A and B are shown apart, each in its own frame.
Chain A
Amino acid sequence: MEFTFTAEENAFRKEVQAFLDAELPPDKAFDHEFNEAQDLWDFAFDFTRKVGEKGWIGLTWPVEYGGLGRSLTERLILAEEFAYRDAPLVNVIGYGLAAGTLLAGGTDEQKKRFLPGIARFDQFWAEGLTEPDSGSDLASLTTRAERDGSDWIVNGQKTYTTWGHHADVMYLAARTNPDAPRHAGISIFCLDLKAKGVHMTPLYNLGGGRQNHTFFDDVRVPADMMLGEEGLGWSYIMNAFYHSGGAAAHHCELQRILDELLEYCRHTTRGGVLLIKDPLVRSQLAELEYMIEGERLLAYEAVSNVTTGRPPMFGGALGVVVIKENMPVFAQIANRIVGPLAQLKTGSRWAPIDGNPEAWYRQSYANHAGGTSQVKRMVLATRGLGLPR
């Protein structure tokens, strides 16, 4: 057992930090998930391509598929540094879900055709899983693809399509066999969002970003754009979610918030007391530190389990539950520390920490993405603890 990184890994962290120092302007807030400003998106695209040129998008993939064949621990380090700096690396659906699906179930030909492009960020992928009536119960999805010669014809609707209006292609889960058991009839496609019959309408979210409804009206998808095997889509989705969780670094996003708060508390007086000296504030800061450290250790454990070939504990759901449930609580405590002015938005000179506390709170309710904490609790209870369904 060791709670530490090797000298080589620490050197890689330094390399990542130096890259970010060079590429990220110090006084720019990116927040690409929740910001529609075009200049930020232009920057995010350029930045992501540069990360691709370093080979870091496909850091852990085999070399023959455009990767560098590096370790999962190094991917964790990369994720930690990027998360701490809020580096605008886009295309998580591409390098996470799509690449995960291809690595798990793609043919050699598919891997060679798709992965190098994802590693370079040639195309921006949108998510096409959730439907209006299929959220937590994703396997009930009804968007269908019917075979017609060398094409599949897609009809139906997806929703909450994050980044859809910026994207080139969609990671689409569609029902290809309506007669199969519901988990067995789903296949994955790479669908061209510029194809005839695709239509999007905007949904603006509480975080300040845009999502979309996506409608498919007889959209033709060439048969060779199916990822993996027909009917195995569900297993790819589950597997890719587990693997992308293996190198998540949400704790570093929280660390960034805590560090901003600490800086604020060291220099702000309220009621004649420096906040950092206020016993209630100190207790609240400690509360945040417990959350961050718990998430950090869970992330390290997840990587350890994958690296040593151990199966994930607790149905792989415990860490996700903790992260999802921490998010709003963390933001609420952060707001309490800041006090009454935490309601002020970015743009007012009176807003503490440039209005970030207000945004942290709104955005914390994006904790449903990738599945609600309730669903993850059900998985933890039944698959993890063996409780009856």
Chain B
Amino acid sequence: MDITLDDHHQDLGRVARHLFETRSPLTTVRQLEESDRGYDPDLWHEMAGLDWLGLAVPEGQGGPGGSLLDLVALYREMGRTLVPSPHLGTAVIAADVLARSGSRHELLASIMAGTSIVTPALLEPDGAWGPDAVTLPARRTLDGFALRGTKLLVPYAHVASQFLVTARTAAPPDGVTLFVVDAADARVEKLPNIAGMPLFAVSFDVELGPESVLGAVDQGWQLLSPALDRAGVLRGAEVVGAGEKLLDLSVDYAHQRKQFGRPIGQFQAVQYLCTDIAIATHLTDLFVRQAAWRLDQGLPARREVALAKGYASRAAQVVVHRAHEVHAGVAFMLESDVQLYTRRAKHWELDLGDARYHDEVVAAGLELAG
């Protein structure tokens, strides 16, 4: 029993922090929020050169064969620096699904090379999550499928070369099929959102050949689900990184800001707020590391993943809320860096299953236990 971080995870984290802080400081993050593209292609290619676009793709599939815990180290720093990129959708979810599908090797290779961006299009207009929430129909045609409907909150749809789309091909249970759809066959509509991220509505009305199916028909969720588990854990790792940064900002501010003739950090009310950030962040860290370790070991981790993302969704709000209370009026001004985290954390909280969704997974596990 030693649940402390290994040295090489700490080393990877240091490398990532240095790269992101120098190449994507918060001033750059602000500029990218306002830009059409939404991310920095130069940094993206640099990440490709470091083998970070497909870091956990097995060696047999042309990847470096890293672990999910390696990705956790990377994502903590992404959360800390808020570096915007399509990484989670294409280099984690799509890359993982493609690698496990055992097909489309050239597409996986071009994701890892940074030349293709394959974006998952999963959530539907009612906002529900999970296999049963997939209703977008893929009707069988003579020689394939007709896909018709709209997906929401699709990240980086404007720069995607392909979409990875969940569609209903039969009634639940099962009955979800994964399709790879060319971006040219979809209509995209930008969605203004709190996080300042490139998020889109993506509409399909297209006839697809059987080669568009990834994996087996009606078995798409089984192929997708492990990738979503990994992505959920990594959202949690971003919350950890952001929480650590907000703790640094809040403690620094509590030292510098003087009212009533002393640093506000001497007031226990302010100390409580800072300790709340430390507790929520550290517990998220432990939940995330446990889930990632279990996934890396190939152990059942449904409960641990749900605990990690469910807790992280709550923690995302706790760390932001307390940082606002410490900084008060200052953090409400757009010139404050705190509000950058406030806005992004809302996306992390709600993405890949919100707390309500993961609570139900936890509860279902308790119902069956014992």
Interface residue ranges, A against B (CB under 8 Å): 1-5, 9, 73, 76, 258-259, 262-263, 266, 276, 282-283, 285-287, 289-290, 293-294, 297-298, 300-301, 303-305, 307-308, 310, 313-314, 318, 321-322, 374, 377-378, 380-382, 384-389
**Contact (Cβ within 8 A) B3 A388:** no
Q: Looking at B251, B279, B293, B294, which has the most chain A CB atoms within 10 Å of its CB?
A: B279
Nearest B residue (CB) for A5: B1
Cβ–Cβ contact B363 & A314, under 8 A: no
With a cutoff of 8 Å between Cβ atoms, the chain A residues found around residue B286 in the complex are 294, 297-298, 301
CA distance A21 to B244 in the complex (A): 45
Identify 12 residue pairs between A and B in the complex whose beta-carbon atoms are under 8 Å apart, listed by A's number.
A2-B3, A3-B1, A266-B367, A286-B310, A286-B359, A286-B366, A289-B362, A294-B287, A294-B311, A321-B279, A374-B268, A380-B275
Known: A2-B293, A381-B265. 10 other contacts (CB 8 A): A262-B370, A282-B366, A283-B363, A290-B311, A297-B283, A301-B286, A304-B2, A377-B275, A386-B251, A387-B255
In this assembly, does B190 line the interface, its C-beta being within 8 Å of a C-beta of chain A?
Answer: no
Residue of B nearest to A73 (CB): B1
- 8 tightest Cβ-Cβ pairs between the two chains A and B: A381-B271, A282-B363, A297-B286, A286-B359, A286-B362, A387-B265, A304-B2, A286-B363
In contact, B283 and A294 (Cβ under 8 angstroms): yes
Residue of B nearest to A259 (CB): B370
Chain B residues within an 8 Å CB radius of A5? 1
Q: In the docked arrangement, what's the CA distance between A313 and B5, Å?
A: 13
Residues of A close to B271: CB separation below 8 A: 377-378, 381-382, 385, 387
* Closest beta carbon of chain B to A166's beta carbon, Å: 35
CA distance A389 to B366 in the complex (A): 44
Interface contact A321-B275, CB-CB below 8 Å: yes
Complex CA gap A350/B354 in Å reads 39
Residues of B within 8 A of A307 (CB): 1-2
Contact partners of A321 in chain B: CB under 8 A: 275, 279
Is the beta-carbon distance between A385 and B360 smaller than 8 angstroms?
no
Binary flags per residue of B1-31, CB closer than 8 Å to A gives 1, else 0: 1111110010000000000000000000000
Find chain A residues with CB under 8 A from B293 CB: 1-3
Q: Given the complex, which residues of B lie within 8 Å of A258, measured CB to CB?
A: 366
Which of B3, B69, B262 contacts A301, CB < 8 Å? B3
**Is the beta-carbon distance between B274 and A387 smaller than 8 angstroms?**
yes
| A120-B115 Cα distance, complex, nearest whole Å | 70
Q: How far is the CA of A310 from the CA of B289 in the complex (A)?
A: 18
Complex Cα spacing A314 to B281, Å: 12
- Residues in A whose Cβ lies below 8 Å from that of B125: none
Interface string of B217-237 (1 = CB under 8 A from A): 000000000000000000000
A263 to chain B: which residues have CB within 8 Å?
A: 370
Q: Tell me whether B255 and A3 are in contact (CB under 8 A).
A: no
Q: What class of interface size applies to chain B in its complex with A?
A: 35 or more
Which chain B residue shows the least CB distance to A287?
Answer: B359
Q: A3 CA to B247 CA in the complex, in Å?
A: 27
Shortest distance in angstroms between B264's beta carbon and chain A's nearest beta carbon?
9
Is the pair A285, B266 in contact by a Cβ cutoff of 8 Å? no
Q: How far is the CB of A185 from chain B (nearest CB, A)?
A: 27
> Would B278 and A1 count as touching, CB distance under 8 A?
no
Contact B366 A285 (CB under 8 A): yes
**Given A297-B290, A386-B251: A314 in contact with B278 (beta carbons within 8 A):** yes
Q: Is the CB of B251 within 8 A of A276?
A: no
CB distance from B338 to the nearest CB of A (A): 17
Q: A5-B1, A283-B359 are in contact. Are A388 and B265 (CB under 8 A)?
A: yes
Write out the residue numbers on chain A whose beta carbons fall within 8 Å of the beta carbon of B307: 289-290, 293
Q: Nearest chain B CB to A235's CB is how many angstroms away?
A: 25
- B251 adjacent to A387 (CB under 8 Å): yes
Interface centre among B265, B274, B275, B359 (most CB of A within 10 A): B275
- Bound state CA distance, A389 and B267, in angstroms? 9
Select one of B5, B265, B278, B360 contacting A286, CB under 8 A: B360
Give the nearest-CB partner of B289 in chain A.
A1
A304 x B362 contact (CB < 8 A): no
Which chain A residues lie closer than 8 Å to B294 at the CB level?
Answer: 3
Distance between Cα atoms of A53 and B1 in the complex (Å): 27
A160 CB to nearest B CB, Å: 24
- Within 78-137 of B, Cβ neighbours of A (below 8 Å) are at none
Chain B positions within 8 Å of A266 at CB level: 367
Within 8 A of A (CB), among B175-206: none
Residues of A within 8 A of B332 (CB): none
Residues in A whose Cβ lies below 8 Å from that of B363: 282-283, 285-286, 289
- With A and B bound together, what is the CA distance between A262 and B370 in angstroms? 9
Complex Cα gap A335–B266 (Å): 37
Question: Out of B3, B272, B279, which one reaches A300, CB within 8 Å?
Answer: B3
What residues on A are CB-neighbors of B366 within 8 Å?
258, 262, 282, 285-286, 289
How distant is A171 from chain B, measured CB to nearest CB, in Å?
Answer: 30
Q: Which of A76, A286, A305 lies at the interface centre, i.e. has the most chain B CB atoms within 10 A of its CB?
A: A286
Partner of A3 from the list B274, B290, B310 (CB cut-off 8 Å) is: B290
Give the contacts of B137-164 with A (CB-CB under 8 A): none
Q: Which B-chain residue is minimally distant from A2 (CB atoms)?
A: B2
Name, among B3, B6, B307, the residue most crowded by chain A CB atoms within 10 Å (CB to CB). B3
Query: Does B287 contact A293, Cβ atoms closer than 8 Å?
Result: yes
Contact yes or no, B362 A388, CB < 8 A: no
CB pair B310 A282 closer than 8 Å: no
